Structure 1
């Protein structure tokens, strides 16, 4: 039976099917009101893991979530990411893992999310211009100071994960991964062996799974949508996988959340497993 919950870092329990907030509109007006409604509906549906980042609107996404959900329910985890910045609104985003910059981004995240501690803080990308020990050392210092609870990584290789774990405890990894794109299967395998949460981004292939005949056939047998099949496969594929599908529409959110109740049979999983052989 597929477990519905997971303890990140061994102690922080969340429901495995989360929500990615990246697509929520933050500009003033009707679109923003819709974004607030979608975030609130996610919590109403029992979602306890919401993913955001400093990069999403330069902090505007964090502010939107705080406006929608603060004071937060006791069981809600909002995880954010740092390590990508831009000097000013007209500049391009760039990797920035300098310790001083990471510390400032964390402080901004604390203010925007209206919390004293970020329970899971992920390094959005490793900055090749800054020694990894300096990047993770800065986050470790912030953890030791009580500003963050646990440290995660995003878009890393197996070797980078191993190097990081030699420096500090790693609680999560957020890599691109889905039913039809399993490039990072070795990273998932490493996470499973170590009990590290694996948060796949782009988990539903942005509709591509709906064009696949095998997925359509499985969906029909399960009386589910192709998107729900893609999410149900992720939940069944590994106990450390915590999908974070994102949307700005309430109907899509509700469709995604209902995937937790879809139960592919072993025969269905065998069909789906064959769709994309690991790289």
Structure 2
């Protein structure tokens, strides 16, 4: 309920809701802070356990994989197991509900994420991933998607791609044995954008178009430090959009018009509640 928020934040949420219902094209960018509220560690978090001697920046690179594919693959398998039981939080659900509600009210809500988990999809959102997908693999040499599952008695995680046309389900396991591409024999790697790699062109084009054509751009749970995604707000601003930031630790960004200083899981349900009332 709105009573859970401070009086100042209540006023800002209400002002934000009135702005949003008056617009038709809205672009949302979510970052690590949204996933963190579901218990998924961020790149800035210190590695733990057996991985405490490594930095994420030293493992999530093509150079690291070429040098020691077993090490990098094992790290990702450990990471997959670490987040396998994580579920969407109130921010994910509120965004999904808003997206579905918007479609009925002649409002276009495009969600773009820097996160590689599937929590938006679990909440039933349609989302564009800029940095890849944790639960997908591809060949490190020929880029062929790899959907096979190696023989393993380890944990399996079954996910369904709610946004895919074939509604297929894929079983994931956490075996650390390296996999080989059935086409070229190259090692299989996670389908994630590593440091130094370009963003997937189709996803970036979708995000760039949404930012350039939106009337409101909302940044949620992201530090706005990782480019080129961090430049989307600049693109939106240059094209006349209002910029909203939802973050418990706001970034010193001069393009922001409204800042909601709180966790997304607290603000988004209240914001959607106000929006749904105004749109009804």
User: By the TM > 0.5 criterion, same fold?
Assistant: no
TM-score by length of structure 2 reads: 0.33
- Richer in helix (by share): 1
TM-score by length of structure 1 reads: 0.33
